[in-house]
Structure formats: C-alpha cells, structure tokens
Amino acid sequence: MRTALFPEGFVWGVSTSAFQIEGATDRDGRGPSIWDAFAGGAYGDPACDHYARHPEDVRLMQDLGIAAYRFSVSWPRVLPEGHGRVNGPGLDFYDRLVDELLEAGIAPYATLYHWDLPQALQDGGGWTSRDVPRHFADYARVVYDRIGDRVDTWFTFNEPWVAAFLGHGSGVHAPGLRSASDAFVSAHHMLLAHGLGLEALRAQGAARAGVVLNLSPVLTPAQLGDMSTGIPEEDAEAVARIDALHNRQFLEPLLRGRYPAELLPLIEKTAGLGHIRDGDLDVIGRPIDLLGVNYYTPIAVQAQPSAPADPAFPGSEGVLFCSVPTAVTAMGWPIMPSGLSLLLRRLSEEYPETELMITENGADFEDVVTGDGIHDVDRISFVEEHLRALRTSIDEGARVRGYLLWSLLDCVEWADGYRRKFGIVHVDFTTQRRLLKDSALWYRDVIMRNGLGAERPKRPTLETVAARSGVSRATVSRVVNGEARVSPDVRAAVLRAVQELGYVPNAAARSLVTRRTDSVALVLSVPRHGGEALTSAVVQYVTSVLEGAGKQITLMLADTAESHRRIIRHVEARQVDGVVLVPPDGPDTLTERLARTGVPVVLLGKPAIASLVPHVDVDNAGGAREATRHLLDRGRRRIGVICGPMDLVAVQDRLAGHLATLHEDGLRPVIALAGLDSGSGAAAARELLSGDQDLDAVFATSDELAIGALEAAREKGLRVPEDLAVVGFGDIHAASCTTPALTTVRVPAADQALALARLLLSRLDGRHTSSVVLPTRLVVRATT
C-alpha cells in the first residue's frame, strides 16, 4: 500500500444529525417532530443524550483532531410550532455548542433540515404544502440571527430525495406516507425551500452556503463487474430513468435551474405540474458555494418489462433493481469505493464550476466490544478504500474540499433504531458511556498525517491470539473449535485473549457473536427431463460440503407460486443465513426476489435474466466450440446442429459456440430444433438428413438428442462415423453405452456442486465473490 496524502487545507471532519443524537425531545420547550411521531417513543430519546453531553462529545472530537463538525439544527427545538414563536432555550443550546466547537478549534458546519419537520407543520400538510418552504426561510433567518456570526458554512437540506421519496413514496421514513404524487410535490417544495432558505442566509451575510445530496451512480449489473463495459442498449433507458429520479431530479434544478426534460412527463403523469410555479426554478437554481455529496453505495438496475414500480422510485415500472454480488455492510449496502470515483468524475465533468465536499460516507458493521477495545477493522477498511478512491478523484481534478465521516457516534439510524452502528465512537445506550473504536484512533492518525499511511489495518489472527495467551496456534485452534483435549486453565486463557482481541475465528464461533442460525436453504425447482442427474449431484455434494462446514441444510421445493412465496417469507424472516438456488429453467423472478432479501444467494447455472447474484456454470459455449472444431479437424464440412429448447440459457450458449466456430471457417449452419428427449432428437435428425444438404456430421446440444440422431442414422442405413459423425453434450451415463459409443462434451456435475457450496461459504464469510465458470472437456469415442 502506498501513502496517499491529501492537498493542503483539506478539511477532515465528521457528521451527525439532531434527531439521531440529541435526545431530550421534550426538554426546554422543544416541540414534537414527525420523527417523534413516527418512532412512537420507541427510539429518539435519549438517543446519545448529546443535548446534555455535548461538551464531552466536543472534547472527543478535539482529541481526534477533527477540523469540521457538521451537525443539524432541530427545527422544532427552535420553532416548536414550525413558525411564529421562537423557543429561546432551544437556540441557546446551539449557541453553546457553536462556542464550544470554536473554542476546541473545530469549524461548525450547520445543516438546517435533516428530516425532523415540526409535527405542527405536518398537521397542516407538511411538505405537500407550499407554506412550508416559506416557513423554512423564516426558520433559516432565526437560526442565522443567533449563530450566523460564528458559523461560516451552511447547508440548507440533507438528502431531500430520502425525505421526499422514503417519507412520502415508500413510507419507510417519517411521515410514513405512500403517495407517488405527494413524493414529487414534496421534493419540489424541498427544493423551493432550499432556494428561499439560501436567499435568507445570503441576505444576512452567510459566507458559504450549499446543500447536501445523496448521490449514487446508477449502473447495470455488467458494469458493476467491469466498469469499462458500456450500457447495453436494452438497459439504457432504465438506467437513465433511475438516474433522473435519484440524481438529476435534484442536481439539475439546483445547479442548472431546470428539471431534466425526460423527467417532466413522468412528474406530470403522477402529480401534475401545478406545484411547479413560474419563477420557482430561478429561486432553486441560484448559485451555491458548495455541494455536499453523501455517498454510500451504487444503484444497480436493468430493464425488465414485467417489473412493477418500486414505491421509492415512482415511475420505475419495467426496471429491475438488482443486488450487487460484492461484500456488503451489516446494513446490506454493497461496498463499492469505485462508485465514489465514478460519481465524482461525473460531477466534475457535468458541473465543473461546483465545489464539492464529501459530507457523509461511512459504514454500519456489527461491533464486538472486547476487554481492550473495539477492533472494527471492517469499518477502517471501508473508510480507507473510499479515501483512496477520493484521493484518485482529486488527482483527476475533482474539486473536493473535505471529507466528513458518517458518523461520530453510534446513534439512532432512523427507522432501524439503535441497532445500526455507524459511529467511530461506540455509545453504550444504557450508560451513555462513549468508547473510541479502533476506527476513531485510525482516523485521528489520518487527520494528523493529512492522508493515508502505507500500513493496512490488521485483523487479529490465530497467531495474535496465540501470542497473547502464551500457547501454540494448534492449541488456540483446538479451543476455538470446541475440542475437549485442553485443560480448563488454558481454555480460559485462550478465550480471554479471543475476547480481548475481538478475534473472530470461524463460522461457528462467529455465529455466537452474530447470533446467526448457521443454516442454509437448498432451494430446488423441479428440473426438466435431463436435469435430474445434476440436481441429485447438487443435493449430494452441496449438502455434504455445507454440513462439513457446520451448516444445517433445509431442503425447499420451488415448484409452485405458493412455494415461492413461502420460501421468500422464510428467507425474509432470516431463518437461514444463505441460499443455494437451483433455479427453474427459463425466466423467473425468484432469484431476484431472494437476492433482495439481503441474505447471500448463489445459483446453479447462468440465470436467464442477467443477474448480479453469483452463479456457477460450465463453459457451454467453449464446449460447443471444441466439439465443432473436433468435427472440422476430422474433415467434416457439412455439419448439422440439433438444438434443444431455445429458452434454456445453456442451449443458447452451446448454439452460439457452434455457430461462432463454423463462422471462423466460413461455413453456414444447418439447424433443426428439438425438445429434450431422444425421440425429438431422432425427429430433428430425420429432418436434417432428408434435406439436400448431404450432411457428414451432426452436433447435438445434449446427449439425449445425439442418441436420437444415432437412431435416425441407423434407420437411414448411414454408417457412423464413416458416413455421419455424431457428437453430443453432457456425457450422461448412456453416452458410453451406445453403439458406437458417443463422442461428447463432459460437464463436470460434481465439480459444479462443490464450487456452488464453496461459493456460498465465501459469501457467508463476507468475501468478495464472483461467478464461477468451469471448463468442459471433449470425450472422444467411436462416433467421430
């Protein structure tokens, strides 16, 4: 690893928001917010009790060398009814906070709206009402009046997309509404509120003001694997539409004073255009000084005509949101630092005049509190990889002025309550004790160095535990694997070291920490004729490898729509940690529905619909090439192909390999279509042989079909191989028993099953995984 220093003056900081950390929801005259109502008292208070403990939190930041602290002001703390009466004690709190920050040498960055609308305003229609933007501007004025003399960086809004579309579209955030029309109207009113708020701040002399957006590159599954791949024509519209809804709906009005042209008809169809009044876009598009970028993960989509709209993306009919087969955070968000580079490159190209700041980036991982700290190596790696990506973007010319990590403290993660851990500082919510995680100490070093050192964070290993407990590695291994042959004293010493170091030994021990069930569902669809051998190999090998790794297997049959629903429910309820899926032949949505549960899934065979779920397949095209080349090498020039059902992906690939090889030699194909069994193979062969092509060879996409071809040749009195050479595919048992014995392409069934089991184990370990394609092998027998 190389060191990566950042430009001089680069700002290192952290971000938080009022509702997520303050608590004290009914103290000193604060009014209720929509999040209090939404949480129903289940979370939000005491949160991190920052309202009372801010001096300690500021000291922590000072110790870490934090240069800028982005916090949000709680609107209902300042204006309990949302407008009108100002609550002095509420403003006093921010006044004190700003003074403490300045004393500690930390620049205060204030966000005015981080989602906690006063409930009183919600009662009057909330963001669907055009009054709220006006009230927002007044609120901005009140806050600026009090702390504007000491706060030089202002953000009007945090992530209006989330507030509008998760709050009013999918309803998973406050105020919990599900109306596509309200979502679009709210989004516009938030943009308008930003514009009016900005005007108010500027009028009073704000030095630097901007807005924060959550931006994600929108990519196709293939692009996620290889960024240099272009967007396939059939997916281009889906990608553009989601990009317009998620990114451009905000970027374009804010930075160019217009809505994306392709979005307007969609807004009009859903919500009308009456809420977008003349002059609004001029207000919204006034120049900002700084665009805050929150980046966590990319979005992957592809076109799928039958897909219904996702309520968070009204108008997304026909778009399939795909899962991404990379390591994910505990939140299930795919980790993709290259997505940040892509995003910054795009912003720099499209809006070169805009200064940028990363206002949020960070990760939720399950932490283990040990006797000597919290060794959150995953969080460190996450931030480190994103900082490397950021550094590269700055080299390429991106005008990024700072990086604010999300978040300082473990806090309330909105609808997920307290279970998410984004902090670099751990908070014990029963005692409110703060504890620096390793990531905090590591970030302190980054700040001190103004960049990354050459060292990578190290995970505690078996050796570390052995050294700490003064025993051999073998002994440690015996203890963590629960073997009996260890004295109680040694066992206790090793377990203490394991605890203190936060060492996570293996799947079994990890399950103690993560409370995983350690069970895996093996989901089988009923195979079409010919697939049984593979299915039984899968059951046999997958079961034995996974059981050997300590997993329990649940077999589930996916043969009816009801069984699909049952399986999804089972997986959604987290009754399993992983799924091995032998998907149905042909197009089907079970795979994607399972993938969306966030539980690791692996597939047997390349799926009919391109998917990000990793699969194990054989090189069907390569096998067909080899078979065809073999016939050509033996001097055969007039080769017919018998093709099984064309809706099977394997058949399509085999045909493609055959055609490509013929093409190389300038030969034309002769194709007959067939079903699955030897009877239909014989019929197709008869058709081929009765034509005037005078064939000297037949390649069949399966052994069954080839066996049918042998039968047809016999009927016609053709000698095999003298008059007609025949090659099959699959190397089923019967292939070696025909007369003469069949030349065929061997498909490694057992290897596929083993690879499938291993792939799932890697995914369960959280490792990066990609699909596996196993080689086939030509088995030359007497028919050629």
Binding-site ranges for ligand FCB (CB under 6 A) = 17, 20, 158-159, 162, 214, 294, 360, 406, 413-414, 422
Query: CA-CA distance, 621 to 667, in Å (whole number)?
Result: 18
Q: Contact 34/125 with Cβ under 8 angstroms? A: no
620 annotated to bind ligand: no
Query: CA-CA distance, 122 to 103, in Å (whole number)?
Result: 37
Token pair 């025909």: residue: 738
Burial bucket for residue 641 (CB in 10 Å: 0-12, 13-18, 19+)? buried
Q: Contact 286/198 with Cβ under 8 angstroms? A: yes
The structure tokens listed for 14 are 């952290």
Query: CA-CA distance, 604 to 614, in Å (whole number)?
Result: 9
360 as an active site residue: the answer is yes
Q: How many CA atoms lie within 13 A of 717 on its CB side?
A: 0
Smallest separation (angstroms) from ligand FCB to the CB of 328: 14
The active-site residue out of 22, 159, 384, 711 is: 159
Nearer to ligand FCB, 113 or 699 (CB): 113
State which H helix or E strand residue 754 sits in.
helix 749-764
Token pair 């018998």: residue: 642
Burial bucket for residue 454 (CB in 10 Å: 0-12, 13-18, 19+)? exposed
Query: CA-CA distance, 596 to 154, in Å (whole number)?
Result: 37
Residues contacting 692, CB < 8 A, separation 6+? none
Q: What number of H helices and E strands is found in the chain?
A: 30, 29
Nearer to ligand FCB, 406 or 503 (CB): 406
Token pair 């004690």: residue: 89
What per-residue string of b and e applies to 388-413 under the rule 16 or more CB within 10 Å gives b?
bbbbbbbeeebbbbbbbbbbbbbbbb
What is the distance, to the nearest Å, from the Cα of residue 410 to the centroid of all Cα atoms in its chain? 22
SS (H, E, C) 245-281: HHHHHHHHHHHHCCCCCCCHHHHHHHHCCCCCCCCHH
Smallest separation (angstroms) from ligand FCB to the CB of 159: 5
Smallest separation (angstroms) from ligand FCB to the CB of 617: 36
Nearer to ligand FCB, 237 or 413 (CB): 413
What is the distance, to the nearest Å, from the Cα of residue 626 to the centroid of all Cα atoms in its chain? 38
SS (H, E, C) 764-777: HCCCCCCCEEECCE
SS3 content of the chain, % helix, strand, coil (to 5): 45, 15, 40
The structure tokens listed for 272 are 């009308």
Torsion of CA 436, 438, 444, 447, to 10 degrees: -140
Token pair 């009816």: residue: 560
Angle, CA of 196, 197 and 198, to the nearest 5°: 90
Smallest separation (angstroms) from ligand FCB to the CB of 414: 6
Q: Contact 610/221 with Cβ under 8 angstroms? A: yes
413 annotated to bind ligand: yes
268 as an active site residue: the answer is no
Smallest separation (angstroms) from ligand FCB to the CB of 385: 17
Helical spans, DSSP H, in 31-172? 34-39, 50-64, 75-78, 88-103, 119-123, 131-147, 160-161, 167-168
Pairing relation of β-strands 373-374 and 369-370?
Answer: antiparallel
733 annotated to bind ligand: no
Token pair 């086939």: residue: 776
Q: Contact 153/290 with Cβ under 8 angstroms? A: yes
Smallest separation (angstroms) from ligand FCB to the CB of 420: 7
Picking from 774, 779, 688, the residue whose alpha carbon sits closest to that of residue 727 is 779
Count other C-beta atoms under 10 Å from residue 265's C-beta.
Answer: 11
The active-site residue out of 100, 360, 384, 626 is: 360
Residues contacting 314, CB < 8 A, separation 6+? 165, 169, 180, 183, 184, 245, 266, 270
Catalytic residue annotation: 159, 360
